[in-house]
Structure 1
């Protein structure tokens, strides 16, 4: 089989990580595995295996004919059978199909605001999805949406899976005291609700002042980002909450961390949570999206209703004050990841599903 992943950028986001994870994993399993970044490169480029064929289009607009021509040439020269389009790259895949009808398309829906699907724009999807042979949804809500709203039959739910980033240079050094660091792997977007995190951090500073919060994720330098930084100053949290921006060496960062958290208002199945589990980190996370299917409250982590500042704080304090619970949760979460969300398990389902689609 010869499969090409398409993603709009290689910055450190969940969909981008999964595009790289699929390309890398498939390179060991199939005849040809490639990846095309359409608009921007980024830190994840360094995580791409040498065995993955790579192309950057530098696409400037929706109807960039130069980029489309370059993509078509790459597909033809490498006799690609299946184009696996991630997130918003579906439109370029559709244009490719128009110019090269023999190609087969699948779309990977990573939509993060799955709590608010009723307001999701769908016109362009309704126009283009009839040209696709299948849809991969990262959670059950997205699968139902594709079936019921898009009236699409060939939809499969495949969970995200974590992957080691051993190729990445260990360069990030976290501030704060070792064994007293709380990490949040989340881009600075309103969906991730860092404002709740700030409220919790203020409480932790008062009760456990030696513990620090480490925010790792893309900083868009927008109003939301400015609000976070203003609150850090307003609450005198400059030495408690540290913002790092996007970083490629996630495994290295997690090895320096003690507890992983997610304060999101909405999620699919966050790759960050899988990475926490892969590195045996105990977690406190909000009860949104697919997270409750992964986290069993009090068994392999703490689940907190979205927006509950006091309950989130209480759960975090339990981990801070009890090392044995931290160790038990970390091991249990790692076991859960290995059993249900391993690369091999997901890839087997993926390969079987694609083979039935392209026959």
Structure 2
């Protein structure tokens, strides 16, 4: 079987990490595994295994004839049977399908604003979807939406999975050991760092030796400035630290006790899976698949979104009980290993692939 993962960039976002994880995992399972970044390279390029064939298009616009030809030649030369297109790369995948009629297109929907699907623009997507043999949706809301709004006849829910291929040790976090909280999320408004910072102010008032570490791409836009201003206004510069995107995620998580997501909207966040593999006590908001992933008061804590009060109370509950942190983290780690492992999800993906490929 010969499969190409198609993604717009290799910046350290959720969909980008999933595409790299799949390409890497497939390299040990199928004849040919490839990955193509269409618009931009990024930090994740270093995570691609040597056994994965890599192509960068440097695509500048939607209809970039040079890039379309380059990818079409790559598909033909390498006899690619399936293009597994992630997020907005579906349009290019459709064009390649029209140029290579025997090529199968599978689209992977990572849409993060699943709480606001009624506002999702999908005219072009709907047109392209009739060329999709299958759609993978990262949460059940997206699965239902795809069945109702798009033209593909085959849709299934496919949970994300976390994987670590390079055990790098580069980043040393500030603060006191065993008293660190981490939020692994790019600085986007849907991740709601503002509420998290406000919640941490309440925590800091009682437990000033604990620190908060926000790891994710800083777009240096209005939202990131709001976060920086909030940290300044609340006098938290010595307790809340912003880090850019990092490649040594598991090294960073190993230095923390609590993993948090304070999002207003989510799909199935990869960060929560990575927290689980790293034995962190987890807190997340009641959005997307978070509530299905975490069983509240059994293996983690779930709070309402946009509630600094509830978030602060959850953090303090963990801080005040090391035993609770340990128990929940252990249960959550086991849950992630049993249900969201590389092995389980790659088997599911290959099963779908085999449905559409006549020979492999």
Cα distance in 1 between the residues matched to 2:64 and 2:57: 10
TM-superposition CA deviations, 1:137-191 (whole Å, max 9, x none): 0000000000011143200111000101425x32111101110110000000000
**Paired position in structure 1 for 2:266:** 267
Cα distance in 2 between the residues matched to 1:25 and 1:127: 31
Q: CA RMSD in A?
A: 0.9
**Paired position in structure 1 for 2:287:** 288
Cα distance in 1 between the residues matched to 2:275 and 2:32: 31
Q: Is the 8 A contact 1:165 1:250 kept in 2?
A: no
TM-score, normalized by length of structure 1? 0.98
How many residues align structurally? 358
Q: Is the 8 A contact 2:196 2:311 kept in 1?
A: no
**Offset of residue 357 of structure 1:** 2.6
**Paired position in structure 1 for 2:245:** 246
**Paired position in structure 1 for 2:94:** 94
**Offset of residue 255 of structure 1:** 0.7
Q: Is the 8 A contact 2:286 2:302 kept in 1?
A: yes
**Paired position in structure 2 for 1:138:** 138
1:67 correspondence with 2:71: no
**Paired position in structure 1 for 2:34:** 34
Secondary structure of the 1:124 match is: helix
Secondary structure of the 1:260 match is: strand
Cα distance in 1 between the residues matched to 2:173 and 2:186: 17
**Paired position in structure 2 for 1:48:** 48
Cα distance in 2 between the residues matched to 1:214 and 1:309: 17
Alignment of 1:143-182 (within 5 A): 143-167=143-167, 169-182=168-181
Q: Is the 8 A contact 2:131 2:152 kept in 1?
A: no
Q: Is the 8 A contact 1:36 1:57 kept in 2?
A: yes
Cα distance in 2 between the residues matched to 1:135 and 1:311: 36
**Paired position in structure 1 for 2:121:** 121
Q: Which runs of 5+ in 1 are unaligned?
A: none
Kindly report structure 1 stretches of 4+ aligned residues shifted beyond 2 Å. Answer: none
TM-superposition CA deviations, 1:22-65 (whole Å, max 9, x none): 00000000000000000111111111111000011000010111
1:103 correspondence with 2:95: no
Cα distance in 2 between the residues matched to 1:354 and 1:32: 13
Secondary structure of the 2:238 match is: coil
1:13 correspondence with 2:13: yes
Q: Is the 8 A contact 2:133 2:152 kept in 1?
A: no
Q: Is the 8 A contact 1:165 1:249 kept in 2?
A: no
Q: Which runs of 5+ in 2 are unaligned?
A: none
